[in-house]
Structure 1
Amino acid sequence: MDQAPIKLTEVDRMILASYKDFAEGLSDYLSDCYEIVLHDLENMDHSVIKILNGYHTGRKEGAPITDLALEMLAKMGSSNDKPYITYMCKNKKDEPLRSTTIAIKGEGGRIIGVMCINFYLDSPFSDVIASLCTVGGRPTVSRNENFAENVSETIEKSMISARQRVMEDERILPSQRNREIIRELYQNGVFNLKDAVTYIANLLGISRNTVYLHIRNIAQECSQEKIEQEG
């Protein structure tokens, strides 16, 4: 791979910008024991455009690309092998890191940036365990998630959950329960799934036209509520 800086297109810039949010989400998931670094290869003298937990290596945004990252890039660009490399290294304090460098490709399949993930191996074990029980430093709240094997199972599980919540709400009249179930499913995006209307109609024992009628009315209500909030 030619290690000279490249000229980014507008699409390339949008791709790299999207990785900034990805880096923040990844850092929130992995905890402070990991340093996440996003490099823009257009300006290698100041390639770091996003860094989380940079105190592990003493870097900030605007820092240059490292010599080892350049070496990793050369290896990835000169072979047809996988576009990432995992390796062991050390920071300035001679502290061990377990790292991976992942190529980010832009228009034409060329490498326009890299994301580096560095795990600080001297992290206290108690911190590592604590990170598994918190999210962003906050205690986690367990939520049920249905890992379905097909779309129909996803729709059915969503419908069962919505119906249970509606049935437990004594404020909802029996005549309004189907509508409120459909409202919750609509707000949760269930009707974006293929054949969801047919599945829901069958599960509720009503016609598809009735489901469509509720969806239209609910969509209008949601649009009106949004207009009022913005106004």
Structure 2
Amino acid sequence: MFTETDFRILDSYKSVLDGLAAYLGDGYEIVLHSLHDLDHSVIKIINGHYTGRREGFPITDLALSMLAKIEERPDTNCITYFNRNQKGEPLKSATIVIRNHSRMAIGLLCINFYMNTSMFQFLQNMTPPAAQTPDSPVEESYVENVDELIVQAVTEASQKVQNDSAISNANKNKEIVSILYQRGIFNLKDAVVKVAGLMGISKNTVYMHVRNLNHG
């Protein structure tokens, strides 16, 4: 449960975003997420024109995935990686976990550097080494609501499982739920019910698979 102190901690990071943006320049999208409400997690964003996002937008599937990876390693609060957005543009990104005094994760600070930024624009702000173009299949989905995110995640997971001949028909639903679980989809509000409807199975079946994964 979030406390007033937690909200104050997150609010204090808004000025950090302003400072980072002033220092790094226009080639960076910087996002502050609150984990209090994943449906409207974006509480501050700078250079949101890159993705069309603004305050009140939901968390992304990649941000959830990176949080899960960080939480698997208690000594780690940050992960950096190369990826591409839906337009195929190369990015260098960082996800930083914001914790409260009890070490509970309460927010994420996400930084995306657009590596297609012109050198002229880049050098207007700083003079670092030349950017390298990454080659990564990782994509992040920018959506306007959580329902769209869930639909896209189920569609992608279903296609992956259906195209894998090594997975028996009896285990396909289980594998789809497992992929969604690994991507953090079930952290979203009413995700079990929505996933069940999209898959054409009962919510009890989805709950069963999720419980097994929790205890696995």
Give the alignment's TM-score, normalised by structure 1: 0.53
2:8 alignment partner in structure 1? 14
Cα distance, 1:82 vs. partner? 1.7
* One-letter identity of the residue aligned with 1:30: L
Q: Deviations over 1:116-161 (max 9, x none)?
A: 000000000110011128xxxxxxxxxxxxxxxxxxxxxxxxxxxx
Which of the residues 24, 27, 32 maps onto 1:30? 24
Name the Cα RMSD after superposition. 1.2
Q: Distance in 1 between matches of 2:80 and 2:52?
A: 21
SS at match of 2:102: helix
2:182 alignment partner in structure 1? none
Q: Distance in 1 between matches of 2:72 and 2:94?
A: 18
Cα distance, 1:77 vs. partner? 1.2
Q: Distance in 1 between matches of 2:51 and 2:94?
A: 15
Alignment of 1:103-118 (within 5 A): 103-118=97-112
Structure 1's unaligned 5+ residue stretches are 1-6, 134-231
Q: Distance in 2 between matches of 1:108 and 1:32?
A: 35
Cα distance, 1:58 vs. partner? 2.0
* One-letter identity of the residue aligned with 2:97: A
Q: Distance in 1 between matches of 2:93 and 2:112?
A: 4
* One-letter identity of the residue aligned with 2:12: S
SS at match of 1:108: coil
Which of the residues 49, 74, 77 maps onto 1:80? 74
Q: Distance in 1 between matches of 2:83 and 2:58?
A: 17
Alignment of 1:30-49 (within 5 A): 30-49=24-43
Structure 1 residue runs of 4+, over 3 Å off?
none
Alignment of 1:38-187 (within 5 A): 38-132=32-126
Q: Distance in 2 between matches of 1:10 and 1:84?
A: 25
Structure 2's unaligned 5+ residue stretches are 128-216
Between the aligned residues of both structures, percent identity stands at 51
Q: Distance in 2 between matches of 1:122 and 1:93?
A: 12
Q: Distance in 2 between matches of 1:46 and 1:76?
A: 22
CA contact (8 A) 1:56 1:91 kept: no
Q: Deviations over 1:85-142 (max 9, x none)?
A: 0011222211111000000001311110000000000000110011128xxxxxxxxx
* One-letter identity of the residue aligned with 1:113: G
2:181 alignment partner in structure 1? none
Cα distance, 1:63 vs. partner? 1.0
1:224 alignment partner in structure 2? none
Q: Distance in 1 between matches of 2:25 and 2:18?
A: 10
SS at match of 2:120: helix
Q: Deviations over 1:150-178 (max 9, x none)?
A: xxxxxxxxxxxxxxxxxxxxxxxxxxxxx
CA contact (8 A) 1:38 1:49 kept: yes
* One-letter identity of the residue aligned with 1:41: L
Give the structure with the higher percent helix. 1
* One-letter identity of the residue aligned with 2:82: M
Tell which has more relative contact order, 1 or 2 (C-alpha 8 A, sep 6+). Answer: 2
